Chain A
Amino acid sequence: MNPDELFLLVPQSILLGAAVLLMLMEPFSRQAGRRRLRMVAVAAVAVAAYALRLQWGLGPRSIGGGMIRVDGFSLFFQWLFLVITGLSAVLAADFNQREGIDRGEYYALLLTACSGMSLMAMSADLILTFIGIEILSLSTYILAGFKRRDIASGESSLKYFLLGSFATAILLYGIALVYGAAGSTQYQAIRAAAAAGEVPALLLPGLGLLLVGLGFKIGLVPFHSWIPDVYQGAPSPVTAFMSVGPKAAAIAALLRLLVEALPGLAPDWTRLLWLMAVLTMTLGNAAALVQSNVKRMLAYSAIAQAGYILVGVVANTREGFTAILFYLVVYTVMNLMAFGVVLSLSGPGDRRVHLEDYAGLARRAPFVAAALGVALLALAGIPLTGGFMGKFFLFGSAVKAGFVGLAVIAVLNSVLSVYYYFRLLVYMYMKDAPQGGAESISRPVGAILAIGVFLILWLGVGPDRFLALAGHSILGLK
């Protein structure tokens, strides 16, 4: 690799270097010095984001013998992942101190997870995708079980690990089959093999197994069963991270794989994903209706949201992909806000996460209730919020691509979802608090909530500029 190519990998190196540094600093820092560890993580994220900024406008490049693609698509996702990682580190601060898990490894693992996610978005080779997924997964397995003395956290970690490694094994077998069918694992070579006359016999089963593996990471029905338990049991800041980061990364990898390597099989995978999108939305929403634990409800909501995003993949048009990128940003903002409130209010032991605990929240903490309210309205897709615009673009792209039935089902599902989002609103605004006492949230979390409210409303009223950016990013995908 020449120096020019290495420059493109600087952001990854910064993240990994900072992760190693954090592990080295951890044994030498006292309890009072933990703040510094968090600052190192946030600083690394900021520097990496700046290094990425320098790459914008260089045009698409292929490096590492065609394994890594640096283009608008990967830059967009890398930025998104950096923002998610940085916000997760900030959101976790108070929570971790309260729960006694404020350790350097926590932030180091967030950074390694971020580098794994970035690799997934940059990868143009199945093997690199696999390695990216594994870097991400191994980090999140540990994060999920970070509260070592807590049974729920350990259970969540174990379930995630067992089902996750099962899914990666299936994914790997799919990669082996595709390798045998196409004679290479590079996306361009697979594409050429699929386009040349007859489709190799092993390619279709290979694609199926790949979809199982990635579907598990995204949390698509029928590979969603791990999500509720893992999200409920993991420490709340980790749940916040898992519900946005790995999901977005897996969708990025899925898009790259389907659009760059397997456009020849589009009729097959659109049919399959159509079915999965419908099942994911419907089951996710139906199960969310009956939950009384807010974390679990948000977990099912995250499943349903993945179904909406899949609508854009099924559309298989530039508009659909642009809508996905736009929606992922909105989804990140609203989900992080919702979980930011949940983790601030959850109290000692991360236990106060039931609907009753939110009764009368509007009176006890008007600002927090309002922020959570905006996030919930956006998740439900109420007009004037970014959530509405995102869904509008997603479902609109499906209609234009001729999938009217799918769009109708998606809209009906959104209507259904209003019920459980509004139930939480009703608890906050219309029920009396059983016992008073004002809630307090830390200043950084408050700042994030305020910015989040602004972003959601801004994206809901004037999405044009952002949509143009997403549309520009998608140009690299081909």
Chain B
Amino acid sequence: MNHYLTLSLLLFLVGTVGFIVKKNVLAMFLCVELMLNAANLAFVAFARDLGQLQGQVFVFLVMVVAAAEAAVGLAIMIVLYRCRGTLNPDEADTMKG
């Protein structure tokens, strides 16, 4: 139980730190996926510990949401890439103030 949770926490932290330090939109998005999967792992671990099925069902819901998010996110990235020709978020700086 504790091992699962430790791994999940590690994944979450790697995702969080990665999101903050990465300079590529795709890599940042992958870090978010890592965080979602960390939550999934925690759900499954807790469900096993509690002897429930609920937590495992949540994982499926989260997967569906993650897939929808990926579809929307990649579409947005493609649109922006067509406009600017770069995926570096630091260069997306038209607005200031």
- DSSP class of B's interface residues: helix, strand, loop or mixed? helix
Closest Cβ of chain A to B25, distance in Å, is: 7
Partner of A173 from the list B42, B50, B80 (CB cut-off 8 Å) is B42
Given A176-B42, A183-B52, A155–B80 Cβ distance below 8 Å? yes
Mark each residue of chain A from 166 to 200: 1 if its CB lies under 8 Å from any CB of chain B, else 0. 10111011011101100111000000000000000
B94, A155: Cβ atoms closer than 8 Å: yes
Number of B interface residues in the complex (CB < 8 A): 43
A155, A156, A183, A296: which contacts B50 (Cβ < 8 A)?
A: A183
**Cβ of A141: which chain B residues have Cβ within 8 Å of it?**
72-73, 76
Choose, from A225-233, A309-317, A364-372, A437-445, the stretch at the interface: A225-233
What residues on A are CB-neighbors of B32 within 8 Å? 162, 165-166, 169
A307 at the interface (CB under 8 A from B): no
Chain A residues whose C-beta falls within 8 Å of the C-beta of B54 in the assembled complex: 179, 184-185
Partner of B38, one of A130, A166, A173, A180: A173
B30 smallest CB distance to A (angstroms): 11
Q: Are A145 and B76 in contact (CB under 8 A)?
A: yes
Among A156, A173, A233, contact of B39 (Cβ-Cβ < 8 Å): A173
Neighbouring B residues of A62 by C-beta, 8 Å: none
Q: Return chain A residues, CB-CB under 8 Å to B43.
A: 176, 179
Across the interface, B84 reaches (CB within 8 A) one of A131, A151, A165, A228, namely A151
A interface footprint on B13-55 (CB within 8 Å = 1, 0 otherwise): 0011001000001001100100110110011011001101011
Question: Closest CB of chain A to B68's CB: distance in Å?
Answer: 6
In the complex, whether B7 has a CB less than 8 A from a CB of chain A is no
A293 touches B97 (CB 8 A): yes
Contact pattern, A 284-324, Cβ under 8 Å of B = 1, otherwise 0: 00000011110010000000000000000000000000000
Interface: A452 (CB within 8 A): no
- What A residues does B42 contact at CB under 8 A? 173, 176-177, 180
User: Does B10 belong to the interface (CB within 8 Å)?
Assistant: no
Q: What are the nearest 6 A-B pairs in CB distance?
A: A169-B35, A180-B46, A176-B42, A154-B80, A172-B39, A173-B39
| 9 A-B pairs in the complex with CB atoms less than 8 angstroms apart | A131-B61, A131-B65, A151-B94, A152-B95, A162-B29, A169-B36, A169-B39, A233-B94, A292-B97
10 more A-B contacts (CB under 8 A) besides A127-B61, A145-B76? A130-B61, A141-B72, A149-B83, A151-B83, A161-B76, A166-B35, A172-B36, A177-B42, A179-B55, A180-B45
Write the residues of chain B forming the contact surface with A, with a CB cutoff of 8 angstroms: 5, 8, 12, 15-16, 19, 25, 28-29, 32, 35-36, 38-39, 42-43, 45-46, 49-50, 52, 54-55, 58, 61-62, 65, 68-69, 72-73, 75-77, 79-80, 83-84, 89, 92, 94-95, 97
